[in-house]
Structure 1
């Protein structure tokens, strides 16, 4: 059985040791990093869940989360939970705006933390992306990426160095494969599935 992996980003060794001890007793595999630069590196390959302090050397927890989500290092399906002594409302609002899934204040109530982790992991499994039942050719993917970026068929034809008729041919193929009603719906569906990256 493969263990659920949790990355703990915490610079206080006493707290990180306690987190590791409690979570390993619960059957999780826990790794610890103590600063922002190491945290970004440790996110690849992505763990199943991230616990992160706010106040860290190098990058703050906010900066780690912003870069991890914004640069596509950490998929949206991986829960990110802040654990911090700085639990004021303004920090919670900022954290949620950056894509944080939960916010736990210190001192840590482990009787509360463990159920929160289990709940977030259960939700993540439900939301895990479904493997698409279709595939796009390289040219279809390229064309649809420009559709997702709001380009018209004539503009896409110019960008790709093909005729407008060829662009329309690829767009129609994608619409048929996805079962979408419009090119915009097809582009949105493929972006959600991770087939294209607008």
Structure 2
């Protein structure tokens, strides 16, 4: 799968030129004309890197970076690079204090831009792989130390199997027994879900009503063993009630593997007790 880059630029010709250059070099590009458009995109989509102009209407590059870091935790580790014609010391200090990863000066040197993107993306991949590897080692070591050989049984509830196949693959690598359940069969598969050690549920209207029923009935069914996979459309009141009632945990889109592995570790510890 090609790496996805969000390019934010208010000058349409420059935006189109950058997108063409990146696409010619194998990247998938999402275009936004200002910071407000970028925020709306980032609420619902996952990107591997954000490339943004600084001086823009509505929401400029500084405010965009601030909002991403403060309000969109799913993009905490997403590299953020500024495109800027401004190069004063004060501008760089402000950008660095907000957590920008790099600068590309205008007019754009595309060789430099491509080299910078390649380096940043490679570094981010390495960090993710290292974190995942460490968690896997902890998981296997804990199972061995505790003599726990029975695999976790896990159900995944979603509208489409394709949507959760990466999660299923990661869980299978850990030796878990994974069962996919279509959300349309949720009501008739309650017994199967109850019998599993963990249940990952991708938020949707059907899942919303299912979980609301659990909360309203104060049921103990799957209490503490449900993992709600949230996106930008997830009802905030439901999320609050979900955690307050102790029914389970929440993982935000784009569902980082590290968070999934942590959840599996906790479930393994609980089962071993």
1:19 counterpart residue number: 18
Contact in 2 for aligned 1:67/1:73 (Cα 8 Å): no
Residue 176 of structure 2 aligns with which residue? none
Which position in structure 1 is the counterpart of 2:29?
30
> SS of 1:96's equivalent?
helix
Residue 145 of structure 1 corresponds to none
Tell me the residue number matched to 2:72.
72
Contact 1:87/1:104 (8 A) holds in 2: no
Residue ranges of structure 1 left out of the alignment (5+ in a row): 140-159, 161-192
Equivalents in 1 of 2:83, 2:56: separation in Å?
12
The residue number in structure 1 matching 2:83 is 83
Post-superposition shift, 1:110? 0.5
- Structure that is richer in strand per residue: 2
Tell me the alpha carbon deviations over residues 117-149 of structure 1, each in whole angstroms, 9 at most, x when there is no partner: 000000000112428456xx949xxxxxxxxxx
User: What CA distance in whole angstroms lies between the structure 2 residues aligned with 1:95 and 1:55?
Assistant: 12
Tell me the distance in 2 between the aligned counterparts of 1:17 and 1:82.
17
SS in 2 for 1:23: helix
Deviations 1:42-100 (A, max 9, x none): 11322011100011110111101001011134523211000011122211111111111
> Hey, which bits of structure 1, 4+ residues long, moved more than 6 A?
none
Residues paired across the two proteins, number: 143
Residues 8 and 31 of structure 1 are in contact (CA less than 8 Å); yes or no, is this contact kept in structure 2? yes
Say whether the 8 Å CA contact 1:77–1:127 is kept in structure 2.
no
Residue 93 of structure 1: aligned partner: 93
Match of 2:7, SS state, is: strand
